[in-house]
Structure 1
């Protein structure tokens, strides 16, 4: 499958680009970025061609992988779908529900395949754990904590990210937490009723009520000192307690599985569980949480 990469930032160069360049079933056709100089640098690093015109790249591709801020990503995803390109997007697909809905509608109208890269859903052993707990059922409560040191003193390439500075952990790592809880505990049918509160820095706490009556809590932060950082999730029910295992592979390997998932969805016509419809739901829930912070 001929892929175009949209984006030239740290995440594109560390994860999307290397995974695409190394994948046996991918031809990395080219790279486009909002800055031509950065696109040329990325193309040189990845052994491909830089494009100044995004529409020219879309014309030359079967699929695109987008590694751009969410509110830049969403309109480009619509544009790519209308050009006939399958979509491998990043989370969150957008920070505005209407923008997410427009992506979903474009996919439905054009019939292209879509996969959104929620890292834990494509990493092992976390992906297998999520599937196992969803199949087991009977869970009554859960929690998911993503405590990052990006703004807490870590030496991170994402510390200077303008959109992360503006929107905070709720939008950057909130999708990860929901990608674990929603498949296991069910949808949040009335997101307008969820509760949210602020902690130190950009820390946000959420309380969710799920479709079958289960409840969950999330703590999301980029403001933890490095010594306090960590990712944890668990569910509790009649079978006892089950805890999310630690990831033991790189995001590049996980992204390669997302490429496989998109290829399979395009081949079979079957929607993937992490498609744009799921990503739209995540955006809707997080938008409700953001609204709750201002009530």
Structure 2
């Protein structure tokens, strides 16, 4: 089986940890590089969290330091949801920086993408700053990219502001650049993560998946949603699900635009399923049973693979 070459841009973050863990052990994927960026918490934490996770999982995928702030506006934070370090509920042993490669993320991604014999897929599960810099600095890179899959945007109300989802609100200008890259873009919006929340039974099944399951359970149990919900909402793994199992989802073509000028709507996603210039496929539904079963089995596979 030919594996899908993948580059992950991430801001771990609890659900990012889950998405990376699944991706690193998915038999269908060949993760070429992980690019931690600022996002849920500052770059210092997201970078260390990435290195710590790889040490815990016994993986050796190169890590390249990403952006430490958005393209235009000041950075925001989700530390109230994920904890000060981004991974409340679990403390990894601190890793060294042996997996960290020197160089600018955009340049390192470009070199890796253009050297690949197969077109590379980009997975964006945080603010899209580094992918936007890649496209702006190296516009010819699109010739060797298969698609971009992102967790972000919202069809209805937001979770950062009344109209904006967090990952897009973090860097709206970057999101607009990525969505208008001309590449196939698949979007796992806020609503899909809300629907794919974990039940108590599913949490128990995850906890039973060895050391990896216990690690993820400890983090999931410490998510504190700003809306006061006690549901364990799983956002970023839905993007991995769309990449590997699109049959679990209902995807609809849409014209997606990001609001960049509004006073109270800055960062809002305008998703028009009737728009004339469709530039993305947006997930509007998910089979929650199939998704949860796949997620549990993926965590089992990761636990088996790290030993």
TM-score norm. by structure 1 comes to: 0.41
TM-score norm. by structure 2 comes to: 0.40
Q: Larger helix proportion, structure 1 or 2?
A: 1
